[in-house]
Amino acid sequence: MVPDSRFDVAVIGAGIVGLTSAYYIKKNNPDVNIVVIDKAPTYAQGNTARSAAGFRDMFSSELNFNLSNSTIGFYRHVQEELGHDVGMKFVGYLFLTSDDDPRLKVLQKVSQRSKVRTLDAEALSHYDFLRTKIDVETKALMNLKDIDLGVLGENCGTIEPELIADFYYNSAVRLGVKFLFNTTVREYRLDPVDPLDYPGEPFLWQKKHLKKLETNHGDIEADIFISCTDVWTTSLLDPTGIDSHIRPKKRQVFQISGPSVENILFGWDQNKEGVLPFTILPSFGVYLRPAPKAKSLWVGTADDYNRDYSFNEEPDAEREYYDNSLAQVIQAYFPTMSYPKVTGMWAGYYAYNTIDGTPYIFKDLNIIVASGTSGSGILKGDSIGRIVEAVYSGKEYAELYNGKKIKSSALGIENREVEREEFII
Ligand SMILES: Cc1cc2nc3c(=O)[nH]c(=O)nc-3n(C[C@H](O)[C@H](O)[C@H](O)COP(=O)(O)OP(=O)(O)OC[C@H]3O[C@@H](n4cnc5c(N)ncnc54)[C@H](O)[C@@H]3O)c2cc1C
């Protein structure tokens, strides 16, 4: 075993979810001896590093609204009151929609909770780079929708995930949380609680628990294990017979640059930053995310059909997907955007909860699982950490930063109290 290989709590995964979980457990239980283990050389190297790094509190489910609204409030507090810059820019999220979009009703519901402004066709026509009426032929060929309305969420924008990760990592280290990097957990294997030292244990009738993690640096024992391993959760949990309830879905981001991109990026005048909001087109969920420091836009979508659930440790972004699918849709709405350069691209995975699109936080035996972030784990990260802490501490409710109380069991399996989320981007 590695030196100091016995802990009260072992958190596996040092992405945003592992960092917030470790931080809140240690903060509220100062005497607990916690280790965070990650196979990467440092923290926030998994999907936390590959995201489009947008934040919004525009969700169809009230629970997701609260998870995100509270997290945004806390990140803002970190940036504005604690003076730790996390790169938050309140550029807004602009949902462009058509009169016959079935999501219009949902947007209306969302508008009652989130701080939004509506931009009608006339207000949008002010932006001559945006085409709101698609010609009949293109519309028919590509199944595109016109833009009749924009709904601009104002408590939304972009963030730098590595900076918010720095905040939780440094705060956790200061409280005494230990980190072990370059340490790969092979799998979770259950042991008997009261071993008889008999071959083939544990038997059906023996109480079981996870006693230790086998890693490339030896065994690590703990009383409680917190699995914050995102899409890797399924393969780690599988040998135990506990279901992760998630599936991986590849997601890609393409960075585009050039004069025609800059005209659009800096051609918006309705936020302090003077940049295009995080914009979602009415067709196929295609989005454009401003990256003004690099004078670029990031584009992507949450595609569904023909995007299988396979998993590859190092996924590649597919340039032809940009050329043949995304670029065509973007060009239809932004006709002045002529052949921008693709100056970067990357891919990662959403850990999808395919049933309700909302995170899972549940305890089985002495393992707490926090996963299923379904493409919005950064913008809900603080709330997830607080709920993991409540589950760990056996509290009936977790109190979020915005003062809302969430039942600790609400995101669990047995007593789940979640509506299906309709706004997965
Ligand atoms: C293209 C893309 C765009 C996205 N856009 C957004 C967005 O705009 N806003 C938003 O909020 N979210 C977004 N997301 C989702 C967001 O990135 C995730 O929800 C979030 O990062 C999940 O955090 P995590 O800590 O659960 O996972 P991760 O950051 O993936 O952390 C899991 C960690 O577990 C470690 N690990 C795995 N297996 C082992 C093992 N066997 N041993 C040791 N360590 C292990 C990994 O190394 C990793 O560091 C996006 C994701 C993608 C891919």
Question: What is the full per-residue pLDDT of the chain (425 aa) written as tens digits?
Answer: 565 799 999 999 999 999 999 999 999 999 999 999 999 999 999 999 999 999 999 999 999 999 999 999 999 999 999 999 999 999 999 999 999 888 898 999 899 999 999 999 999 999 999 999 999 999 999 999 999 999 999 999 999 999 999 999 999 999 999 999 999 999 999 999 999 999 999 999 999 999 999 999 999 999 999 999 999 999 999 999 999 999 999 999 999 999 999 999 999 999 999 999 999 999 999 999 999 999 999 999 999 999 999 999 999 999 999 999 999 999 999 999 988 999 999 999 999 999 999 999 999 999 999 999 999 999 999 999 999 999 999 999 999 999 999 999 999 999 999 999 999 99
Q: Is 277 in the pocket of ligand 1 (CB under 6 A)?
A: no
The predicted structure's pLDDT at residue 338: 83
> For residue 86, is it within any domain?
no
Ligand 1 center to residue 45 CA distance, Å?
A: 8
Ligand 1 center to residue 255 CA distance, Å?
A: 20
Q: What is the CATH number of the domain that holds 389?
A: 3.50.50.60
Nearest ligand 1 atom to the CA of 347 is 1
Question: Do residues 171 and 82 lie in contact, with contact meaning Cβ atoms separated by under 8 Å?
Answer: no
Nearest ligand 1 atom to the CA of 278 is 8
The predicted structure's pLDDT at residue 256: 98
The residue whose CA is least distant from atom 49 of ligand 1 is 46
- Determine the Cα–Cα distance for residues 276 and 297; give it in Å rounded to an integer: 9
Q: Does residue 239 share a domain with residue 302?
A: no
The residue whose CA is least distant from atom 10 of ligand 1 is 376
Query: How many domains would you assign to the chain?
Result: 2
Nearest ligand 1 atom to the CA of 351 is 19
Question: Do residues 76 and 50 lie in contact, with contact meaning Cβ atoms separated by under 8 Å?
Answer: no
Hey, is 35 helix, strand or coil?
strand
Q: Is 329 in the pocket of ligand 1 (CB under 6 A)?
A: no
Q: What is the sign of the dihedral through the CA atoms of 244, 245, 250 and 253? A: negative
Q: Does residue 168 share a domain with residue 39?
A: yes
The residue whose CA is least distant from atom 44 of ligand 1 is 38
Do the bridges between strand 116-120 and strand 178-180 make them parallel or antiparallel, or are there none, so unpaired?
unpaired
Ligand 1 center to residue 47 CA distance, Å?
A: 3
Q: Does residue 17 share a domain with residue 98?
A: no
> For residue 421, is it within any domain?
no
β strands within 78-217, DSSP E = 93-97, 116-120, 149-153, 157-158, 178-180, 190-192, 208-210, 212-215
Q: Is 249 in the pocket of ligand 1 (CB under 6 A)?
A: no
Q: Does residue 180 share a domain with residue 287?
A: no
Q: Does residue 255 share a domain with residue 342?
A: yes
Ligand 1 center to residue 314 CA distance, Å?
A: 13
Q: Does residue 290 share a domain with residue 188?
A: no
Provide the domain limits for residue 303. Answer: 93-154+248-350
Ligand 1 center to residue 112 CA distance, Å?
A: 30
> For residue 134, is it within any domain?
yes
- Residue where a domain stops, chosen among 315, 350, 385: 350
The residue whose CA is least distant from atom 48 of ligand 1 is 46
CA 339 vs. chain centroid, Å, equals 30
Q: Does residue 346 share a domain with residue 279?
A: yes
Q: Does residue 269 share a domain with residue 147?
A: yes
- Determine the Cα–Cα distance for residues 295 and 28; give it in Å rounded to an integer: 42
> For residue 138, is it within any domain?
yes
> For residue 22, is it within any domain?
yes
Q: What is the sign of the dihedral through the CA atoms of 111, 421, 69 and 158? A: negative
Ligand 1 center to residue 43 CA distance, Å?
A: 11
Strand order through the sheet with 149-153? 116-120, 149-153, 93-97, 278-280, 287-291, 296-300, 247-257, 341-352
Neighbours of 300 (CB within 10 A): 24
Ligand 1 center to residue 348 CA distance, Å?
A: 8
Ligand 1 center to residue 21 CA distance, Å?
A: 14
CA 83 vs. chain centroid, Å, equals 24
Q: Is 38 in the pocket of ligand 1 (CB under 6 A)?
A: yes
> For residue 71, is it within any domain?
no
Q: Does residue 238 share a domain with residue 212?
A: yes
Alpha-carbon distances, residue 25 vs 18, 30, 369, 403 (angstroms)? 11, 8, 14, 18
Determine the residue of 58, 378, 379, 411 to mutate for testing ligand 1's pocket, defined as the one with the most ligand atoms within 8 A of the Cβ atom.
378
CA 241 vs. chain centroid, Å, equals 26
Q: Does residue 181 share a domain with residue 329?
A: no
Q: Does residue 298 share a domain with residue 252?
A: yes
Q: Which two tokens stand for residue 151?
A: 């709904």
Neighbours of 296 (CB within 10 A): 23
Picking from 323, 365, 353, 351, the residue whose alpha carbon sits closest to that of residue 416 is 353
- Residue where a domain stops, chosen among 350, 369, 398: 350
Q: Which two tokens stand for residue 387?
A: 């709920």
Nearest ligand 1 atom to the CA of 250 is 53
Determine the residue of 17, 51, 68, 383 to mutate for testing ligand 1's pocket, defined as the one with the most ligand atoms within 8 A of the Cβ atom.
51
Determine the residue of 12, 48, 70, 185 to mutate for testing ligand 1's pocket, defined as the one with the most ligand atoms within 8 A of the Cβ atom.
48
> For residue 79, is it within any domain?
no
The predicted structure's pLDDT at residue 339: 85
Q: Is 349 in the pocket of ligand 1 (CB under 6 A)?
A: yes
Q: Does residue 280 share a domain with residue 169?
A: no
Q: What is the CATH number of the domain that holds 102?
A: 3.30.9.10
> For residue 70, is it within any domain?
no
